Structure formats: C-alpha cells, structure tokens
Amino acid sequence: MKVVKVGLLGLGTVGGGTVNVLKRNSIEISRRSGCEVVVTKACARNITRERICDTDGIQLTTNPNDVINDPDIQIVLELMGGDEPAKSLILSALSQGKHVVTANKALIASHGNELFAAAADNNVTLAYEAAIAGGIPIVKAMREGLSANKIEWLAGIINGTGNFILTEMRDKGSAFADVLKEAQELGYAEADPEYDVEGIDAAHKLCILASLAFGMPLNFEKVYTEGISTITPLDVTYAEELGYRIKHLGVARKSDAGVEMRVHPTLIPEKRLIANVDGVMNAVVVKGDAVGSTLYYGPGAGAEATASSVIADIVDICRQLDVPSDKTVPSLGFISDQLQEIALLPIEDVTTAFYLRLSVEDKPGVMAGITTILAENGISIEAMLQKEPKHGTTAQVILLTNSVVEKGLIAALKGIESLDSIKEPAIRIRVESLQ
C-alpha cells in the first residue's frame, strides 16, 4: 500500500488528537483512503513537554522548516494557529508542492483569498474542514452536498463557549459573569474570553461559510459582530416566556439588496431544532432553494472532534494524490474565476424582527406613548409582555416587533427613549424565525 508521509506544525490539543486518531484508526483510514498515512515529523515550541499523544516514530523539532522542507513529506498539517508564522509556513509548503491541511479559521478568514490562489498556482490542495464547527463536515456539505442550490441563508451556533454560557444562563438563571467564570474553570473559556464571547471567533467562521454559500471572496472585515456579554438573565427569562431561546448566532443571508454577514445574540422560536442545541455543541442550518432547510450538528471543538475533520481532509487528499488540482473541489466550492464580489449590506440596512425591553414608569399613558411612536415608524407589535414593578415604580415592557429595517427601529427607539416615562436605554435583541 502506498505510504503518504505527513508533517505536523503544532503538537498541542488538535495536533495531539490528530496523531492519536491516525494511530488508533490506521486500519480504517487505510481501508478508506488506499494509503498508509504516517506522521514522520512534528514541530513544537517545546519538544520535551509531556503530550496527549504517543510521539513514537515521529521526529520532533522546534524548527518548522525541518517539516516543510522535507522532500518526503507530501501533506503538511498547520495546527499551530495564529497569523504568523502560520501564513508564511503554509505559503512555503504550498510553493514546494505540498498539500496543506489547516484548522486555522482566523487565517483562512483573513488571508484565505491569497492562500487559496497560492494552492491553485502550485497545483495542490489547501483544505480547512476543521476550521469551522470542529467535527461537523459542514465545509463538505456546502461545497459539495448542496452544490445544486442557490443558498438563501444560513445560521449557525458556531462558538461552543458562547453556547455553553447561554445554555447555563438559561438552565440556572445565572448572570453572564458568573457563568463565564465557571466556563473558565471548566476549561471551556479562555482566560481572555473576548475572542469567543464578543463573537470574533464566530465571525471568522461565518465569513468563510458566507463565501461558501454565495460564491464570493472572503470579506472578514465586513462581518458585523455583537457579543453576548450584555445578555441578562431577565432577557433570557422573558424570551422563554414568549416561546424563544437566546442563541449567539452567525447569520448570512443573500437578498436582492446584497449579502448580510452578522454575529449577534438572537431570539429563535423554541420549536426550531437549532434552538435546542445546547452546551458546547455547534449546529448550522443551511437554507437552499431546492433542498429547503438542512441542519448539521456536532461538537464544535475538542482534540479528537477537530482531528476527525483534519483527517477527513487528509483522506480526501490521499484519494486524489496525483489528480490535478483543477479536477478537485474548488477551495470555496466555486471555480476561482467564478467568485464574484457581492454588495455587503451595512447592519443599519438589515431587516429583522426585534425583541425590545423598555424600563418604564408605571403610570397611565406610557404604553400609548410607546405604541404611537412605533406606529408612526411603521413598526407593528407581534407580542407583548408587561411586568409590573416588584418594588419601586419601574415596570418592564417587552415587545416583539414585526420585521423592520434596523435604521427605522433605531429612529423609533430614539423617539421612545426621549419620552419622560422611559427610564433607561432600551434593550434590543434581534429575532430570527429561521424559516
């Protein structure tokens, strides 16, 4: 059987998991790929550190060039993360005719256009299934499984940390800060949680999913991003009373006006399958014009779940080792010269429904004031809760609006917030029906 030598850059969680799965499942992987896949070299910052994997038979080095310049290595796995030196190393490996598999979502989102072009120029593959939603084969589903469709929209829970926090807030009624601390203690959240809870990580993944969906170059800087740190247990509870769950969603949608890419807390009807995706799990709903709604669910992180996607890419490459790259699946699912820039809609032009929570003085005439301003701005009310003050004189009014253009809603809120009876700025959270 043909032997394919693999070199690793990075031997942390994902690298270690990949080595473990490649060894444990070597027979199945050979039976599927037709190749014996062997890791011969791995680069790590510290080669004496204890590892989660057995490194027997793997030559360890601290110099990444030992890996990418090795003429026997046909596939390089970039599992170190970060911008540089990952990017330069990938470019160098590609230029030497090596296939590259990466799990680096930030790098693909920010530099994928350049990297994919380099792969094509060198007639090799740059694969990145592990960059989005861990073990879920969502890149494959979008590039190949749904290739018959005009994709209308997609919506994903694509950050496990954020979903864990929102799930715990709902289940235990806890505040964001308390659950974040718990998540950090459990190892689900980083010491610096900004990347996860402010939606930057999700924005990287969403940007890639949007390009796969609509056939456009990657445009990371155009993703609108809003975090979950402002979500309160009160809003989680009121959403529930209205029949909704709050999820940190990445949404990409295409309409005649252009493409939306946005990451923000979102109310979803509790009946939707994705509203019931809890804990650290990920899921993506994709709506195609022919297929309708499909959903893909699984673990979004973890050593072996991510390794599952890394190795799926390796098997794909092994199956087509000498096939010219223009006869393999294009990096973004569309032939590269068929990618088209599409107008990206600024968030103020996006149309969604809204959940609004207003802190109002508990006296006659307040509701009339609010509803008049909403009506003047063409906004109708789909559902309402009114919560009398437990103590003091501040009541809570919770409204679900119809679908409105965001700038119209902001104008209406400006009017409402200028009313004497309104005590605090309105809380607003977008609502998606996902149908």
Closest approach, Cβ 173 to its own copies, in A, equals 19
**Distance, CA of 374 to CA of 192 (rounded, Å):** 40
Residue from the set 12, 145, 369, 415 that interacts with its own copies by CB under 8 A: 145
Cβ-based nearer residue to its own copies, 124 or 374: 124
**Phi and psi (nearest 5°) for 361?**
-70, 135
Single out the segment in contact with its own copies by CB under 8 A; choices: 108-116, 118-126, 144-152, 407-415.
144-152
Single out the segment in contact with its own copies by CB under 8 A; choices: 78-86, 87-95, 196-204, 299-307.
299-307
CA distance to 15, 39, 249, per residue, from 302 (Å): 11, 20, 20
Could you tell me the two tokens for 83?
A: 């911008």
Closest approach, Cβ 319 to its own copies, in A, equals 6
310 binds its own copies (CB under 8 A): yes
Residues between 9 and 38 with contacts to its own copies, criterion CB under 8 A: 17, 21-22, 24-25, 28-34
Residue 358 in contact with residue 396, Cβ under 8 Å?
Answer: yes
**Distance, CA of 222 to CA of 258 (rounded, Å):** 12
Bridging pattern class, strands 351-361 and 404-405: antiparallel
Closest approach, Cβ 16 to its own copies, in A, equals 13
Distance of CA 17 to the CA centre of its chain: 21
Single out the segment in contact with its own copies by CB under 8 A; choices: 162-170, 251-259, 324-332, 380-388.
324-332
**Distance, CA of 91 to CA of 382 (rounded, Å):** 53
Residue from the set 289, 376, 382, 424 that interacts with its own copies by CB under 8 A: 289
Of 87, 205, 247, 254, which is the active-site residue? Answer: 205
Closest approach, Cβ 317 to its own copies, in A, equals 11
Closest approach, Cβ 168 to its own copies, in A, equals 16
Closest approach, Cβ 277 to its own copies, in A, equals 7
Residues between 214 and 273 with contacts to its own copies, criterion CB under 8 A: 215, 273
Helix (H, G, I), strand (E, B) or coil at 375: helix
205 is catalytic: yes
Binding mask of the shown chain, residues 164 to 203, with x at each position contacting its own copies by CB under 8 A: ----------------------------------------
Residue 144 in contact with residue 286, Cβ under 8 Å?
Answer: no
Residue from the set 40, 61, 219, 294 that interacts with its own copies by CB under 8 A: 294
Single out the segment in contact with its own copies by CB under 8 A; choices: 4-12, 146-154, 232-240, 360-368.
146-154
Closest approach, Cβ 308 to its own copies, in A, equals 4
Residue 64 in contact with residue 92, Cβ under 8 Å?
Answer: no
298 binds its own copies (CB under 8 A): yes
Closest approach, Cβ 311 to its own copies, in A, equals 3
Single out the segment in contact with its own copies by CB under 8 A; choices: 45-53, 172-180, 320-328, 354-362.
320-328
Interface size with its own copies, residues (CB under 8 A)? 68
Residue from the set 319, 363, 407, 414 that interacts with its own copies by CB under 8 A: 319
Q: State the angle between helix axes of 233-241 and 160-172 in degrees (0 to 180), rounded to the nearest 10.
A: 80
**Distance, CA of 113 to CA of 109 (rounded, Å):** 8
208 binds its own copies (CB under 8 A): no
Residue 260 in contact with residue 288, Cβ under 8 Å?
Answer: no
Among candidate residues 293, 18, 287, the one with its CA nearest the CA of residue 134:
18
Among candidate residues 172, 147, 6, 19, the one with its CA nearest the CA of residue 75:
6
Cβ-based nearer residue to its own copies, 136 or 345: 136
**E strands, 1-117, in order:** 2-9, 35-43, 59-61, 73-78, 99-102
Single out the segment in contact with its own copies by CB under 8 A; choices: 7-15, 195-203, 239-247, 308-316.
308-316
Concatenating the DSSP letter of every residue in 397-427 gives EEEEE-SEEHHHHHHHHHHHHTSTTB-SPPE
101 binds its own copies (CB under 8 A): no
7 binds its own copies (CB under 8 A): no
Could you tell me the two tokens for 153?
A: 């929209």
Could you tell me the two tokens for 6?
A: 């693999």
Closest approach, Cβ 285 to its own copies, in A, equals 9
Concatenating the DSSP letter of every residue in 103-127 gives --HHHHHHHHHHHHHHHHHTT--EE
Question: Which residues contact residue 279 at a Cβ distance below 8 angstroms, ignoring those fewer than 6 apart?
Answer: 160, 163, 164, 167
Give me the active site residues, please.
205
Applying CB under 8 A, the residues found at the interface with its own copies are 17, 21-22, 24-25, 28-34, 129, 135-137, 140-141, 144-150, 215, 273, 276-277, 283, 288-299, 302, 304-305, 307-312, 314-316, 319-323, 326-330, 333-335, 338
